[in-house]
Protein backbone atom coordinates (compact mmCIF):
# COMPACT_ATOMS: atom_id res chain seq x y z
CA UNK A 1 0.00 0.00 0.00
CA UNK A 2 2.81 2.43 0.85
CA UNK A 3 4.44 1.77 -2.52
CA UNK A 4 1.13 2.36 -4.27
CA UNK A 5 0.74 5.76 -2.60
CA UNK A 6 4.23 6.94 -3.50
CA UNK A 7 4.96 8.80 -6.71
CA UNK A 8 6.76 7.02 -9.49
CA UNK A 9 10.05 7.90 -7.82
CA UNK A 10 12.06 8.10 -10.99
CA UNK A 11 15.77 8.81 -10.75
CA UNK A 12 16.28 10.01 -14.30
CA UNK A 13 18.22 13.06 -15.40
CA UNK A 14 17.29 16.54 -14.26
CA UNK A 15 16.18 19.22 -16.68
CA UNK A 16 19.54 20.98 -16.79
CA UNK A 17 21.25 17.69 -17.60
CA UNK A 18 18.76 17.03 -20.38
CA UNK A 19 19.36 20.48 -21.85
CA UNK A 20 23.13 20.11 -21.61
CA UNK A 21 22.91 17.12 -23.95
CA UNK A 22 22.16 19.59 -26.78
CA UNK A 23 19.25 17.55 -28.11
CA UNK A 24 15.58 18.54 -28.19
CA UNK A 25 13.70 17.87 -24.95
CA UNK A 26 10.07 17.02 -25.69
CA UNK A 27 7.84 18.02 -22.77
CA UNK A 28 4.14 17.52 -23.52
CA UNK A 29 1.65 19.66 -21.66
CA UNK A 30 -0.36 18.43 -18.70
CA UNK A 31 -3.00 19.95 -16.45
CA UNK A 32 -3.10 17.65 -13.41
CA UNK A 33 -1.33 14.73 -11.77
CA UNK A 34 -3.06 12.07 -13.86
CA UNK A 35 -2.28 13.69 -17.20
CA UNK A 36 1.32 14.12 -16.04
CA UNK A 37 1.49 10.41 -15.22
CA UNK A 38 0.28 9.62 -18.73
CA UNK A 39 3.04 11.78 -20.20
CA UNK A 40 5.60 9.93 -18.10
CA UNK A 41 4.15 6.52 -18.95
CA UNK A 42 4.44 7.42 -22.64
CA UNK A 43 8.19 7.76 -22.18
CA UNK A 44 8.74 11.50 -22.40
CA UNK A 45 11.70 12.91 -20.43
CA UNK A 46 9.85 15.94 -18.99
CA UNK A 47 6.36 17.36 -18.61
CA UNK A 48 5.00 20.91 -18.84
CA UNK A 49 2.20 22.13 -16.56
CA UNK A 50 0.38 24.54 -18.83
CA UNK A 51 -1.63 27.56 -17.81
CA UNK A 52 -4.37 26.97 -20.37
CA UNK A 53 -4.66 23.33 -19.36
CA UNK A 54 -4.69 24.17 -15.67
CA UNK A 55 -7.38 26.81 -16.07
CA UNK A 56 -9.52 24.65 -18.33
CA UNK A 57 -9.01 21.51 -16.25
CA UNK A 58 -9.64 23.06 -12.85
CA UNK A 59 -12.05 25.90 -13.60
CA UNK A 60 -13.53 25.04 -16.98
CA UNK A 61 -12.49 28.52 -18.09
CA UNK A 62 -9.99 29.93 -20.62
CA UNK A 63 -6.49 31.05 -19.70
CA UNK A 64 -7.16 34.71 -18.86
CA UNK A 65 -5.46 35.03 -15.49
CA UNK A 66 -8.16 33.41 -13.34
CA UNK A 67 -5.81 30.92 -11.65
CA UNK A 68 -3.95 32.50 -8.72
CA UNK A 69 -0.33 31.88 -7.86
CA UNK A 70 -1.42 29.60 -5.01
CA UNK A 71 -3.74 27.67 -7.35
CA UNK A 72 -0.93 27.10 -9.82
CA UNK A 73 1.69 26.19 -7.21
CA UNK A 74 -0.67 23.69 -5.57
CA UNK A 75 -1.31 22.09 -8.95
CA UNK A 76 2.41 21.97 -9.68
CA UNK A 77 3.14 20.38 -6.31
CA UNK A 78 0.64 17.59 -6.94
CA UNK A 79 2.15 16.95 -10.35
CA UNK A 80 5.70 16.87 -8.97
CA UNK A 81 4.62 14.36 -6.33
CA UNK A 82 3.04 12.13 -8.98
CA UNK A 83 5.92 11.77 -11.43
CA UNK A 84 9.63 11.13 -11.49
CA UNK A 85 10.49 13.29 -14.49
CA UNK A 86 11.26 17.04 -14.41
CA UNK A 87 8.21 19.30 -14.25
CA UNK A 88 8.25 22.66 -16.03
CA UNK A 89 5.51 25.02 -14.84
CA UNK A 90 3.71 28.03 -16.21
CA UNK A 91 4.08 30.95 -13.79
CA UNK A 92 2.13 33.42 -15.93
CA UNK A 93 3.36 36.99 -15.36
CA UNK A 94 5.02 36.15 -12.05
CA UNK A 95 1.83 37.39 -10.36
CA UNK A 96 2.84 40.99 -9.87
CA UNK A 97 5.89 43.21 -9.64
CA UNK A 98 9.47 42.10 -8.83
CA UNK A 99 8.64 41.71 -5.13
CA UNK A 100 5.74 39.39 -5.99
CA UNK A 101 8.02 37.49 -8.35
CA UNK A 102 10.38 36.76 -5.46
CA UNK A 103 7.63 34.91 -3.61
CA UNK A 104 6.48 33.21 -6.81
CA UNK A 105 9.95 31.78 -7.39
CA UNK A 106 10.28 30.68 -3.78
CA UNK A 107 6.92 28.88 -3.81
CA UNK A 108 7.48 27.09 -7.12
CA UNK A 109 10.99 26.06 -6.11
CA UNK A 110 9.70 24.68 -2.79
CA UNK A 111 7.07 22.75 -4.76
CA UNK A 112 9.88 20.90 -6.51
CA UNK A 113 9.44 22.03 -10.09
CA UNK A 114 12.50 22.07 -12.34
CA UNK A 115 11.72 25.33 -14.16
CA UNK A 116 9.13 28.05 -14.53
CA UNK A 117 8.36 30.44 -17.32
CA UNK A 118 7.46 34.07 -16.69
CA UNK A 119 5.92 36.12 -19.47
CA UNK A 120 5.93 39.82 -20.30
CA UNK A 121 2.19 40.37 -20.67
CA UNK A 122 0.20 42.84 -18.64
CA UNK A 123 -2.07 41.45 -15.94
CA UNK A 124 -4.54 39.90 -16.32
CA UNK A 125 -2.75 37.92 -19.01
CA UNK A 126 -4.18 35.84 -21.84
CA UNK A 127 -3.19 32.57 -23.44
CA UNK A 128 -0.32 33.25 -25.82
CA UNK A 129 -2.40 32.21 -28.82
CA UNK A 130 -5.33 34.52 -28.08
CA UNK A 131 -5.89 37.90 -29.69
CA UNK A 132 -5.76 41.16 -27.78
CA UNK A 133 -2.59 40.55 -25.77
CA UNK A 134 -0.60 43.49 -24.39
CA UNK A 135 2.94 43.54 -23.04
CA UNK A 136 4.64 45.49 -20.28
CA UNK A 137 7.76 47.59 -20.96
CA UNK A 138 10.81 45.42 -21.58
CA UNK A 139 12.82 46.96 -18.75
CA UNK A 140 10.00 46.16 -16.32
CA UNK A 141 10.13 42.53 -17.36
CA UNK A 142 13.93 42.53 -17.04
CA UNK A 143 13.54 43.74 -13.45
CA UNK A 144 11.23 40.81 -12.74
CA UNK A 145 13.80 38.40 -14.12
CA UNK A 146 16.61 39.87 -12.05
CA UNK A 147 14.42 39.47 -8.97
CA UNK A 148 13.72 35.85 -9.96
CA UNK A 149 17.43 35.10 -10.33
CA UNK A 150 18.15 36.56 -6.90
CA UNK A 151 15.26 34.66 -5.31
CA UNK A 152 16.08 31.12 -6.40
CA UNK A 153 18.08 28.93 -4.06
CA UNK A 154 19.56 26.62 -6.68
CA UNK A 155 20.95 27.38 -10.12
CA UNK A 156 19.33 24.11 -11.22
CA UNK A 157 15.94 25.78 -10.82
CA UNK A 158 15.73 27.16 -14.34
CA UNK A 159 14.12 30.44 -15.34
CA UNK A 160 12.42 30.71 -18.71
CA UNK A 161 11.75 34.21 -20.05
CA UNK A 162 8.79 34.32 -22.40
CA UNK A 163 7.97 37.27 -24.61
CA UNK A 164 4.56 37.70 -26.20
CA UNK A 165 5.71 40.75 -28.15
CA UNK A 166 5.58 39.05 -31.57
CA UNK A 167 1.83 39.59 -31.82
CA UNK A 168 2.02 43.24 -30.75
CA UNK A 169 5.36 44.66 -31.85
CA UNK A 170 6.65 42.19 -34.45
CA UNK A 171 9.37 39.57 -34.55
CA UNK A 172 12.35 41.96 -34.40
CA UNK A 173 11.03 43.61 -31.25
CA UNK A 174 10.44 40.18 -29.76
CA UNK A 175 14.06 39.24 -30.47
CA UNK A 176 15.29 42.48 -28.90
CA UNK A 177 13.28 41.73 -25.78
CA UNK A 178 14.64 38.21 -25.65
CA UNK A 179 18.21 39.56 -25.77
CA UNK A 180 17.47 41.88 -22.86
CA UNK A 181 15.89 39.05 -20.88
CA UNK A 182 18.93 36.87 -21.43
CA UNK A 183 21.12 39.69 -20.12
CA UNK A 184 18.85 39.89 -17.07
CA UNK A 185 19.66 36.28 -16.23
CA UNK A 186 17.13 34.05 -17.98
CA UNK A 187 18.41 30.51 -18.53
CA UNK A 188 16.05 29.76 -21.42
CA UNK A 189 14.33 32.06 -23.92
CA UNK A 190 10.78 31.58 -25.16
CA UNK A 191 9.51 33.68 -28.08
CA UNK A 192 5.81 32.90 -28.08
CA UNK A 193 3.66 32.40 -31.19
CA UNK A 194 5.97 32.91 -34.17
CA UNK A 195 3.84 33.00 -37.31
CA UNK A 196 5.95 31.07 -39.81
CA UNK A 197 8.78 28.58 -40.10
CA UNK A 198 10.97 31.47 -41.21
CA UNK A 199 10.33 33.25 -37.92
CA UNK A 200 11.12 30.09 -35.98
CA UNK A 201 14.43 29.87 -37.83
CA UNK A 202 15.09 33.56 -37.12
CA UNK A 203 14.72 32.95 -33.39
CA UNK A 204 17.13 30.02 -33.55
CA UNK A 205 19.63 32.01 -35.62
CA UNK A 206 19.52 34.93 -33.19
CA UNK A 207 20.43 32.74 -30.21
CA UNK A 208 22.67 29.91 -31.44
CA UNK A 209 24.20 29.25 -28.02
CA UNK A 210 21.14 29.79 -25.80
CA UNK A 211 18.59 27.12 -24.82
CA UNK A 212 15.29 27.94 -26.50
CA UNK A 213 11.72 26.87 -25.86
CA UNK A 214 9.28 26.38 -28.71
CA UNK A 215 5.58 25.99 -27.96
CA UNK A 216 4.04 23.77 -30.61
CA UNK A 217 0.30 24.45 -30.52
CA UNK A 218 -2.01 23.12 -33.19
CA UNK A 219 -3.40 26.02 -35.18
CA UNK A 220 -0.99 28.65 -33.88
Q: How far is CA 78 from CA 33, 84, 134, 169, in A?
A: 6, 12, 31, 37
> Catalytic amino acids?
48, 63, 90, 92, 117, 119, 127, 162, 192, 215
| Residue (of 93, 103, 88) closest to 64 by Cα position | 93
Amino acid sequence: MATFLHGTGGSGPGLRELIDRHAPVLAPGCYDALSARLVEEAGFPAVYMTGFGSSAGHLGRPDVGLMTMSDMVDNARRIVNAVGIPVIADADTGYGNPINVIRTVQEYERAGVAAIHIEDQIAPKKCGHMEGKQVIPADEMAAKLRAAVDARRSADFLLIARTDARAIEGIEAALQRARLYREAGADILFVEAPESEAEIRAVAAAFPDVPLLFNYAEGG
